[in-house]
Amino acid sequence: MDTSGQVEKRTLDNPDEKRPAGAGEGKIISIGGMTFMHTTLQPGWKWSKDVKPIAKTDSCQAPHVGYVISGRLQGVMDDGTELDYGPGDFYSIPPGHDAWVVGNEPYVGLDVTGSAKWARPS
């Protein structure tokens, strides 16, 4: 993290990149030497349905560390470990997982590590 430079301010209205993934989208912003991904996933979104055709891997190979703003996300690791995250949860998820939105509310989260690989060909 670079904190010795100039003061910076960014907004989601002007991200560096918008990365669509089926019924979801990641907005990527780099600032202060770090990269963040604001992710909005609609009800019915599932990694294996919406991203797998893009990534061309059997499971998500992006590591994720982040925070859930709203909605619920569940998933399963390749080893069978179950995942369940909701508003206010911080998470760390290693590569090798599937995930999906639960319920009728969009999932909104802030990811600080997964943006380099998420919804990109491997």
**Which residues fall within 8 angstroms of residue 80, CB to CB, at 6 or more apart?**
none
pLDDT at 122: 57
Select from 3.40.1350, 3.30.300, 2.30.110, 2.60.120 the CATH code of 17-31+48-116: 2.60.120
pLDDT at 52: 93
pLDDT at 2: 59
pLDDT at 115: 56
* Structural domain spans, the chain: 17-31+48-116
Alpha-carbon distance of 35 to 17, in angstroms, equals: 11
Beta strands in 53-102 (DSSP E): 64-70, 72-77, 82-85, 90-93, 97-102
pLDDT at 85: 98
Amino acid in position 26: G
Q: Hey, what are 35's tokens?
A: 């990269």
Each residue's pLDDT, cut to its tens digit, for the chain (122 residues) gives 555 678 999 999 999 999 999 999 999 999 888 899 999 999 999 999 999 999 999 999 999 999 999 999 999 999 999 999 999 999 999 999 999 999 999 999 999 975 555 555 65
pLDDT at 34: 87
Alpha-carbon distance of 95 to 7, in angstroms, equals: 33
